[in-house]
Structures are given as C-alpha cells and as structure tokens.
Amino acid sequence: MVRIALFSLLFVQAAFGLTLNKRNTAFFAPSAGGGSQLNNANDGAGEPLNVIISGLSSPAVLTDDGILNFARAIGFSTECLGIHLGDPQSANLGDGNGWVNQTMELREDYGDAGLGTCLESAIGGNHFRVYRQNGPTANSGALFLAVSQEKDESNNHDIVDNGYNVGRDALVQSAVGNTNFGGVSYTTTEQDISGLMAAGADGVNHGIATDGIVKLLTVTIN
C-alpha cells in the first residue's frame, strides 16, 4: 500500500496546471472547494467519506449502473425489496454543487444479490452511501463512499464500535484484486490517503473515532 499525503496531491495539481473542471485526476479534496470529508447525518454530525472510487477508474464503473454492478461483485446490493428506511444523508464534495443527497445506499448481501440485503437489514452488516464529485468547479467523476459496519435491527442499526474503520477495511478487503459480476471482470488497487480528514471523533456521527485514513480504490474493467 502507498500512503499519499494530501499536500502531495495538491502540489501535483498545482505543478502540472491541472484545472478543476477536467476528469484527469483521481479526485479533488472537498475542503479545497469549501466542502467536507464528513457528510451530514442530519443530527449535527457526519459520517466519514472513508473510501473514494478514483476518477481514473474505468469510466463505466463511475456510472450509477456501473457502481451497482461493481458493488455486487464485492458483496453488496440494493436495499431489501427496494425499501429505504431513514432519511437520506447529504454531502458537500467541494465541487460547486453544494450539499447533495446520496446517490444510492447499498448493503452487504451475504452472497445473495437478490434478497441478501434483507438479512443485513435484520442482523446488521456492512453498508455504504455513494456521492459523486461532478460539479462545475471540481468534476473528477470520483465516487465518495461513506462506509460503516452497523448493528442489527433490534439495536436500531447503530454503528458498531470502531464501525467506520471496520466497515471501510472490510469493503476494501473484498474489493482489492480480481472480482466479477454479471459478466464484467474488475481489477482493483488501493492506496491510503492521509490529510483529507483528522483522526479522532470530532464532528463524527455517534462520537465514534476514526484513524483519519481514506482508502482510494482504482477500479479497472478487464
């Protein structure tokens, strides 16, 4: 794994004259455009956007259908019977779009892309929200994911202890390497990004601390 400090990414953008309206970069730091690496969880705090699908991934992966198929390749699918409980959460990715509601929410499917998320709704598991960085001032096309491991229905799907780090790492472990679904094969690589958000629990939903690391995934269709 390669750890890339945020200042290094910003230096590369400046040194090579990269503009913020072209999809020629992995992502743009939300804070550079007045955004945040925490979403708005509707209670005064936010969930960390702790995984980014790079804008340098295969373009088809970055579409709604594309991220759904990739998610199914790594063990996630749409919500049980298409029913969503709870209000959507918004994020400001610093791209000029302001605060925008999640594009979708996907849940661990326990090996069954059709009905497995019904089991996740009952017993808990991993899940993530998707946000797309495509505004007029920072159009990377990257997908920012808020990933967390949650408790079962009887515990109101609260986040487990260390659930943001745990959920992030479980998703990455499932994704890295070679995966496939629906006749599409993927190769995924990972990098650790530091400097996008502070470690700790300040401003984080449920007061659950994170290690401050964001995982950058580059997904290539073979």
Considering the entire predicted model, what is its pTM? Answer: 0.87
pLDDT score for 194: 97
Count of domains for the chain: 1
For residue 182, what are the contacts with CB-CB under 8 A and spacing of at least 6? 69, 72, 73
Distance from C-alpha of 84 to C-alpha of 82, rounded to nearest angstrom: 6
Distance from C-alpha of 128 to C-alpha of 149, rounded to nearest angstrom: 9
pLDDT score for 22: 45
pLDDT score for 44: 84
pLDDT score for 156: 60
- CB of 168 within 8 A of CB of 27? no
pLDDT score for 2: 45
Return the closest-CA partner of residue 48 out of 125, 131, 107, 106.
131
pLDDT score for 12: 34
For residue 3, what are its two tokens? 């750890």
Which domain covers residue 174, as residue numbers? 3-221
Identify the segments of the chain with pLDDT beneath 70.
1-23, 81-86, 152-157
Distance from C-alpha of 149 to C-alpha of 95, rounded to nearest angstrom: 28
pLDDT score for 200: 97
Q: DSSP readout, the chain?
A: --EEEHHHHHHHHHHTT--TTSS-SS---GGGGT--SB-B-SSS-B-B--EEE-TTS-GGGGSHHHHHHHHHHTTEESPGGG---S---EEE-SSSS-EEE-SEEEEE-TT-TTTHHHHHHHH-EEEEEEEE--BTTB----EEEEEEEE--GGGTTPBPTTHHHHHHHHHHHHHSEEEEETTEEEEEEEEEEESSS-SBSTTBGGG--B---EEEEEEEE-
